[in-house]
């Protein structure tokens, strides 16, 4: 499924009217019908229920008026509160309001104290509320009346259905400048929006339902739209099925360069996650002094000592040459988990990345090595996959986390293009962006995955899939399996889950995906 930014959605609406002859009023009618059905789903039954509808001056308000008519026909008791003067309504919205009035549905303004008193009473006895105030066109600061109304709705503590996007959330960023509607459910029209997936907008959205409202699929699936939802439907296409004659070499020989004194866990998690993702052979290259510790833990991973016997971190020409030699016999390389940030280690990372000509995944301390020189990423002999969390991404670009979050998608998109790398940015919704600008938002994950080592598992999972996938799809397949494994264990352990639990549930996520692939054949 595609994900739209505002300009793209406006173009779709325009093309629906001009190229397909679908008038705005018809799409508004369809939207109103779907909103009414969504409200019935949210409340269980609308007959005899009190529903307050908040309507603004734009098409979002028109959708709300259309919904009011359907809900009234379904037996609901409706009160509509309008934030603008009726003459300021757009043409289609004004026609929808006229029908509501002719049906005897109450429509009230919010100009005087008695209007607000009426609102207080209505909200007190309401069973549900529909937010049709602003829609996707909103950005910047809220007008005082709308701000007050949003606060009133949130304080009412009733079930809220938002039309398209909760009012107060910027559709292209998820940003909330002051306050926004906290919805239990959002019915978005046409396509999901970026603001549904990135916080704080994601926290306001509640259950997200998508309906095309009759817009032709050719418009909704236009290849010019470069944002995509990484969901189950996409995931089943990412990982080719294995033949019976497959052997471990076919599944990938993976080199993981990781670990330093006090950071052996990151190395172990990354290496074993590559195996759990289906890689055939995994070699873990670690500082020589750590080899006995990790070799005793990891029965299925070949643990290779690098450097002098007493060495507790990687660095120096001898270590570099050894790692380059190891890389030659492997299909893909992961470098970074728990490596440390000593000057020698950081220099080794940069030199190794510049000389190795294998698919390369860079995580944690390997990303930090390029903080002062991100331009060097574009000079590497391969297109590396970087897996930063927001703090690491901000550090790489020399901005604050808050600045990054202000415009996450465009900033990451520009960075992927400029530095010629694939960026897997870990946040409340993992974002994968390719150098050509194609972006994917994960539909999976949960708060329990905010735990130490989760990123090491993701990096290992992606690298473990490098040989098993084609066309640079390993980051997508890895993010999906990692998120699905996290969701499986979250159902059992909630916020007490550990990174090792995510790793241990990768086989269950992979098995589930294979079953869906077979079912679809």
pLDDT of residue 279: 97
From 173, 81, 115, select the one nearest 441 (Cα to Cα).
Answer: 173
Question: pLDDT > 70: what percent of the chain?
Answer: 100
- Is 4 assigned to a binding site? no
Q: Is 120 annotated as a binding residue?
A: no
Residue 353 contacts residue 373 (beta carbons within 8 Å): no
289 is in an annotated binding site: no
Domains of the chain, CATH where assigned: 6-224 (3.40.50.10260), 234-239+246-519 (3.40.1190.20)
Find out whether 247 is annotated in a ligand binding site: no
Q: pLDDT tens-digit profile of 324-381?
A: 999 999 999 999 999 999 999 999 999 999 999 999 999 999 999 999 899 999 999 9
For residue 471, the model assigns a pLDDT of 87
- Tell me if 389 is assigned to a ligand binding site: yes
Known binding residue 421? Answer is: no
User: Is 135 marked within a binding site?
Assistant: yes
Length of the chain: 521
* φ, ψ at 228 (rounded to 5°): -135, 150
- Binding residue per annotation — 272? no
Is 402 annotated for ligand binding? no
- 61 among annotated binding-site residues: yes
Is 428 marked as binding a ligand?
yes
Asked if residue 455 belongs to a known ligand binding site, the reply is yes
- Looking at residue 443, what is its pLDDT? 86
Contact 318, 287 (CB under 8 A): no
Annotated ligand binding at 511? The verdict is no
- Residue range 156-191, pLDDT digits in tens: 999 999 999 999 999 999 999 899 999 999 999 999
In which residue ranges of the chain is pLDDT below 70?
A: none
**Residue 461, annotated ligand binder?**
no
Q: What is the pLDDT of residue 520?
A: 79
Q: Is 338 annotated as a binding residue?
A: yes
> 145 labelled as ligand-binding?
no
DSSP string covering 57-89, please?
A: SSHHHHHHHHHHHHHHHTT-EEEEEESS-GGGS
Map residue 229 onto helix, strand or coil.
strand
494 is in an annotated binding site: no
Contact criterion met (CB below 8 Å) for 39 and 68: no
How many other C-beta atoms lie within 10 A of the C-beta of residue 351?
15
Q: What is the DSSP letter of 245?
A: T
Q: What is the pLDDT of residue 156?
A: 97
Annotation-wise, does 456 bind a ligand? Answer: yes
pTM summary value: 0.94
Task: Classify strands 431-433 and 50-55 as parallel, antiparallel or unpaired.
Answer: unpaired
Nearest residue to 441 (alpha-carbon basis) of 212, 214, 199: 199
Check the annotation: does 443 bind a ligand.
no
């Amino acid at each position: 499924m595609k994900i739209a930014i505002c300009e793209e959605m406006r173009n779709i609406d325009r093309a629906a009217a001009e190229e397909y002859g679908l008038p705005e009023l018809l799409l508004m009618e369809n939207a109103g019908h779907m909103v009414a059905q969504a409200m019935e789903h949210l409340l269980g039954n609308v007959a005899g229920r009190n529903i307050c509808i908040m309507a603004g001056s734009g098409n979002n308000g028109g959708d709300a008026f259309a919904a009011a008519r359907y809900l009234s026909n379904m037996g609901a008791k409706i009160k509509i509160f309008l934030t603008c003067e009726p003459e300021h309504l757009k043409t289609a919205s004004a026609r929808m309001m006229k029908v509501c009035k002719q049906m005897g549905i109450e429509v009230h303004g919010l100009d005087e104290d008695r209007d607000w008193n009426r609102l207080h009473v209505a909200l007190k006895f309401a069973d549900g509320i529909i937010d049709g105030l602003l829609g996707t066109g909103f950005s910047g600061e809220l007008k005082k009346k709308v701000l007050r109304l949003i606060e009133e709705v949130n304080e009412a503590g009733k079930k809220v259905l938002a039309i398209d996007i909760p009012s107060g959330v910027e559709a292209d960023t998820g940003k909330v400048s002051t306050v926004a509607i906290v919805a239990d459910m959002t019915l978005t029209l046409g396509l999901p929006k970026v603001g549904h997936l990135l916080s704080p907008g994601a926290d306001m959205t509640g259950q997200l339902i998508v309906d095309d409202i009759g817009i032709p699929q050719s418009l909704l699936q236009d290849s010019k739209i470069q944002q995509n939802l990484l969901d189950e439907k996409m995931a089943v296409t990412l990982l080719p099925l294995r033949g019976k004659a497959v052997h471990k070499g076919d599944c990938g020989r993976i080199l993981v360069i990781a670990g330093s004194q006090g950071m052996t866990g990151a190395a172990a998690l990354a290496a074993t996650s590559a195996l759990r993702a289906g890689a055939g052979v995994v070699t873990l290259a670690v500082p020589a002094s750590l080899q006995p510790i990790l070799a005793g833990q990891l029965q299925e991973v070949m643990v290779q000592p690098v450097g002098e016997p007493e060495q507790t971190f990687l660095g120096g020409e001898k270590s570099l040459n050894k790692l380059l030699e190891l890389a030659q016999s492997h299909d893909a390389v992961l470098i970074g988990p728990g490596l440390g940030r000593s000057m020698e280690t950081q220099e080794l990372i940069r030199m190794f990345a510049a000389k190795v000509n294998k698919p390369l995944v860079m995580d944690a301390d390997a990303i930090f090595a390029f903080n002062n020189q991100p331009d060097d990423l574009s000079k590497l002999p391969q297109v590396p996959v970087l897996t930063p969390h927001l703090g690491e991404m901000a550090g790489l670009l020399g901005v604050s986390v808050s600045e990054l979050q202000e415009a996450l998608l465009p900033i990451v998109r520009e960075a992927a293009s400029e530095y010629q790398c694939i960026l897997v940015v870990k946040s409340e919704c993992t974002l994968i962006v390719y150098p050509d600008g194609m972006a994917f938002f994960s539909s999976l994950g949960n708060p329990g995955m905010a735990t130490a080592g989760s990123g090491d598992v993701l990096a290992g999972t992606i690298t473990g899939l490098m040989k098993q996938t084609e066309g640079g799809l390993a980051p997508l397949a890895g993010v999906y399996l990692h998120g699905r494994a996290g969701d499986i264990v979250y159902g059992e352990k909630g916020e007490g889950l550990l990174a090792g639990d995510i790793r241990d549930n990768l086989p269950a996520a992979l098995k589930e995906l294979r079953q869906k692939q077979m079912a679809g054949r």
